Amino acid sequence: MAYNGGEQNVNRLISANASFTRQRDDARRTRQLAEERLNLVKKDREVEEKKIVSMEEKLKEHLEKMQRTKAEREKLECANGEITKNYNFQHSELTSKKEKLDRADDKRKIDANERNLTMSRNREDLRKLRDASREGASQRHADNKMTVASKLRKLDEICDIDGGKEFFMKLSTDGLLSVVKDRKLKDVNEIEQGNAALRRIIAGYQNALGSSNLVDGAVSVMQQ
């Protein structure tokens, strides 16, 4: 009975030892697994931390890029505003200049039309004046012929009264007037009227013959 009791104790000890060994081995394996998982977690954490750091750096770069982009956008918007302002100003200037040019062109056309009309009227008036001048010249030519012939007759009468053309050639207009001052002209009733008429006759005679020299005029009379 005692033997059996000791064997049972041994068996219990062996069983307890085996159980302890199993528990120890299980605990060791559990600890190893935990350490492995911890190492994996640490590695994962390091990887994640690196990722976070990288993401933070990228985020920082992105924010800086956004700020630069915002500043550049503001500059572009400002430049675009200036360009738009200049465009509107230049467009307004060009529109105003075009309107002025259009008005100037319209005025030029109107002025050209008015000039053409004026030139047409002037040409017509000139044609009428030329026609009237030709008609007047013809009439004056006929009248001048009669006037010159009449004056020549009166000068011939004066030459006869003064005693010859030689005496007339030696006298100036005033001298001739002084000679005939006390004489009577056939076609003049008063002496003063005769003097004035004589001056006109002599001047007309000279003008008709194209001479400013009285003696030359007298010579022409003598030659006729």
Q: How many helices (H) and strands (E) does the chain have?
A: 5, 0
Whether pTM > 0.85 for this model: the answer is no
Domain assignments of the chain as residue spans, ordered by start: 140-223
Cα separation of 38 and 43, whole Å?
A: 8
| Whether the Cβ atoms of residue 155 and residue 208 lie closer than 8 Å to each other | no
Cα separation of 96 and 108, whole Å?
A: 18
What pLDDT, on a 0 to 100 scale, did the predictor assign at position 2? 47
| Whether the Cβ atoms of residue 221 and residue 159 lie closer than 8 Å to each other | yes
What pLDDT, on a 0 to 100 scale, did the predictor assign at position 34? 87
Cα separation of 155 and 153, whole Å?
A: 5
Average pLDDT over residues 106-130: 80
Burial of 67: CB neighbours in 10 Å, binned 0-12, 13-18, 19+: exposed
Quick: pLDDT tens for 19-53.
Answer: 888 888 888 888 888 888 889 888 888 888 888 89
| Whether the Cβ atoms of residue 208 and residue 147 lie closer than 8 Å to each other | yes
